[in-house]
Amino acid sequence: MADSPREHFRRQEAVALLGRRIRTEVEFSGVPAGTAGIVVRADPAGTQRAYTVGIQWQLDGRQQPLVDWFTKSEYDRFLKEENSMAQEEKKHFITGNTFEVKDQLKELGCRWDAEAGQWYHANRKVAAQAQKLVPAGPEKHVIGQAPYELKERLKELGAKWDQESSQWYHSDKEAAARAQQMIAEAGQRHYLTGNAHDVKEQLKALGCQWDVDTKQWYHTDKEVAARAQAVVDKGPEKHFIQGNCYPLPRPGITSTRKRLPRRRSWSPRAPASTTFLRCPISSMSG
- The closest alpha carbon to 127, from 139, 103, 111, belongs to 111
The chain-wide mean pLDDT, for the chain, equals 78
Strongest mean pLDDT among 61-65, 156-160, 261-265: 156-160
272 pLDDT more than 60: no
Q: Higher confidence at residue 239 or residue 160? A: 160
The alpha carbon torsion through 101, 102, 104, 107 (nearest 10 deg) reads 170
CB–CB of 8/52 below 8 Å? Answer: yes
pLDDT in tens, 137-154: 667 788 888 877 788 888
Query: Is the per-residue pLDDT at 67 higher than 70?
Result: yes
Distance, CA of 207 to CA of 219 (rounded, Å): 7
Name which of 92, 112, 93 is nearest 102 in CA terms: 112
If you average pLDDT over residues 240-256, what whole number do you get? 61
pLDDT for 250 equals: 62
d(CA 211, CA 191): 9
- Tell me: the pLDDT tens digits for 223-242? 888 999 999 998 876 666 66
- For residue 264, the model assigns a pLDDT of 59
What pLDDT shows up at residue 62?
Answer: 74
Say what the pLDDT of residue 5 is.
46
153 contacts 182 by C-beta, under 8 angstroms: yes
Asked whether residue 253 carries a pLDDT value surpassing 60, the answer given is no
| Contact between 180 and 154 (Cβ < 8 Å) | no
What is the chain's percent helix, strand, coil content, to nearest 5?
30, 20, 50
- CA distance readout (Å), 56 to 24, 40, 63, 110, 136: 11, 7, 13, 20, 23
Which candidate, 177, 173, 168, places its Cα nearest to that of 146? Answer: 168
Q: Which of 43, 42, 25 is nearest to 34 (CA)?
A: 25
